Amino acid sequence: MGIAATVQGSILLTFVTDTSGLAVTGTTTSAASLPFGSVQMFGGTVPSNVTKTVNGLLSFDLSTPFRVRVDLANSASATYILRALLATADPVNVWTLAASNISASGTPTDLTATGAYASPTAYTLKIQVPATAAAGLISNSIGFTATAN
């Protein structure tokens, strides 16, 4: 019996709850979410480990840290590039990830060019909601891509 196999390098990207952040649902998987729940500019209850900042009468920010872990197998790559892309452009709210505005869709944002494997790296997600925005659901997805260097 002859056996042949070609082993290829692979990357595993997972999300981890930051100890000071909102609990990530689907933690340690590549399909996770941050459930902020019901929030409001004035009053209300802020979810545990979420920071709310009211910007006068103009807007409010919700922010929380989370961690991204990238693992590598069968490759000599020393580092990776991590990019993020908001699935649908948001013309109302401002989405910031690692100090980069990702509100527009179409062009991925580089979060790191030399990420270290097997070490969860903290990033902060901030959503700024203007006071003029209609009440309702804010829902979107951020696609993350890790590429070996």
Per-residue model confidence as pLDDT tens digits over 88-97: 999 999 999 9
Evaluate if residue 100 carries a pLDDT over 90. yes
Task: Please indicate, yes or no, if residue 4 is contained in any of the structural domains.
Answer: no
Task: Please indicate, yes or no, if residue 124 is contained in any of the structural domains.
Answer: yes
Task: Please indicate, yes or no, if residue 5 is contained in any of the structural domains.
Answer: no
Task: Please indicate, yes or no, if residue 26 is contained in any of the structural domains.
Answer: yes
Task: Give me the pLDDT at residue 25, please.
Answer: 93
Taking residues 110-137, what's their average pLDDT? 96
Task: Please indicate, yes or no, if residue 116 is contained in any of the structural domains.
Answer: yes
Task: Please indicate, yes or no, if residue 2 is contained in any of the structural domains.
Answer: no
Evaluate if residue 105 carries a pLDDT over 90. no
Evaluate if residue 29 carries a pLDDT over 80. no
Taking residues 65-78, what's their average pLDDT? 96
Percent of all residues in the chain with a pLDDT value above 90, rounded to a whole number:
92
Task: Please indicate, yes or no, if residue 120 is contained in any of the structural domains.
Answer: yes
Burial of 62-89, coded b for 16+ CB within 10 Å and e otherwise, reads bbbbbbbbbebeeeeeeebbbbbbbeee
Q: Is the dihedral of CA 134, 50, 113, 119 positive or negative?
A: negative
Whole-angstrom distance, CA of residue 144 vs CA of residue 86: 9
Evaluate if residue 107 carries a pLDDT over 80. yes
Task: Give me the pLDDT at residue 28, please.
Answer: 77
Task: Give me the pLDDT at residue 104, please.
Answer: 87
Task: Please indicate, yes or no, if residue 3 is contained in any of the structural domains.
Answer: no
Number of domains, the chain: 1
Between 12 and 27, name the one with better pLDDT.
12
Range(s) of the domain holding residue 38: 10-148
